[in-house]
Amino acid sequence: MDAQTFLKGLDNIPDLPSLPNIVIKVNQMLQDQETSIKELGKIIETDQAMVSKILRLVNSAFYGFRSKIRNIPHAIIILGFNNVRNAVVSVSIIKTFSGKKHFEGFEIAEFWRHSVAVAVLSRYLSEQTRLDSPDDCFVAGLLHDIGKVVLSQHFTAFFGLVWKSVKEDGSSFYEAEKKLLPVNHAQIGAHLAKKWRFPVSLIDSITYHHKIRNTVSNLSQLVIVHTANSIANKYEVGSDTIPDSSTIDPEAKRIMFRQLETIPEWFPDIATEIESACEFFLKQE
Ligand SMILES: [Fe+2]
Ligand SMILES: [Fe+2]
């Protein structure tokens, strides 16, 4: 089977998760310059579970505001349109992908912990370097491996092959895919993101997160997600050396030089932030 056929097959899966309605509406509204805070607030308020999640998020230590934010319009004023949109996207996507059955042995909770770690690290790296919007980077980090979930839910046999190779010969998921499948999780995730009409920069960051391509529309975002992923995979708390950087692309190493050099200094604080983000995003209601 070649990549084309595989991705076509992906399009024909009837129960492939569709983007939740609220995300589609919020995305549409934000493309319209005229959208008011009141209108956006109204759409979000149609989903009460979402309202309480967003309010919990903006009032959590994660954002660190002193005064209590009581309603969605207030949250939009404080955080801005984009950040509220990104919070809606993050909460919806985790919910959409968490319910279904997965390949046995694939720990979905572990998967989301990794994704949230990469999201928080991406946000941190973008704040430090000021190369891209921290909240856009957060979403890109959260979604970078989403293709793995699709594989584990809908291509169990393929997933099984890769999983076996990861467990038995200790190869990385990405290396095993290269050997065994017509496509990898990055291409699958990007295909889904395209279908969902996500921004090109996000699609590119998903597609090339293992192998940087210099010609993408937003190289900064890609470099941030790529570096965050390598750090999340390799760095261990308490270690005073920088991670084995063999998995980090030379261009990313050049751009992220300062951040990579000082990991032992800043990582403990970020590890705490990752914990509180997991607590918020992954805790079942
Ligand atoms: Fe990946
Ligand atoms: Fe990853």
Q: Is residue 135 part of a domain?
A: yes
- pLDDT number for residue 281: 81
- Compute the distance between CA of residue 108 and CA of residue 98 in angstroms, rounded to an integer: 7
- pLDDT number for residue 237: 56
Structural domain boundaries enclosing 186: 100-285
> How many angstroms separate the alpha carbon of residue 146 from the centre of ligand 1?
8
CATH number of the domain enclosing 120: 1.10.3210.10
Q: Is residue 11 part of a domain?
A: no
Any idea which ligand is nearest the CA of 114?
2
- pLDDT number for residue 245: 67
Q: 144 and 278: one domain?
A: yes
> How many angstroms separate the alpha carbon of residue 221 from the centre of ligand 2?
15
Q: 137 and 251: one domain?
A: yes
Q: 144 and 262: one domain?
A: yes
Q: What is the pLDDT along the chain (285 residues), one digit of tens a residue?
A: 788 888 888 888 877 778 888 888 888 887 778 888 998 999 999 999 889 988 988 888 777 778 889 999 999 998 888 888 888 888 888 888 877 777 787 888 889 999 999 999 999 999 999 999 998 999 999 999 999 999 998 888 999 999 999 989 888 899 999 999 999 999 999 999 998 888 899 999 999 999 999 999 999 999 999 999 999 987 665 555 555 567 899 999 999 999 999 988 999 899 988 988 888 788 765
Any idea which ligand is nearest the CA of 230?
2
CA separation (Å) from 148 to 89, 103, 107, 232? 18, 10, 11, 16
Q: Is residue 159 part of a domain?
A: yes
- pLDDT number for residue 131: 95
Q: Is residue 8 part of a domain?
A: no
How does 50-60 read in b/e, with b if 16+ C-beta sit within 10 Å? bbebbbebbbe
Q: 176 and 270: one domain?
A: yes
Residue where one domain finishes, among candidates 69, 99, 129: 99
Q: Is residue 4 part of a domain?
A: no
Any idea which ligand is nearest the CA of 141?
2
How many domains does the chain fold into? Answer: 2
Q: 126 and 180: one domain?
A: yes
Number of Cβ atoms within 10 Å of the Cβ of 179? 11
- Compute the distance between CA of residue 135 and CA of residue 40 in angstroms, rounded to an integer: 18
Residue where one domain finishes, among candidates 81, 99, 117: 99
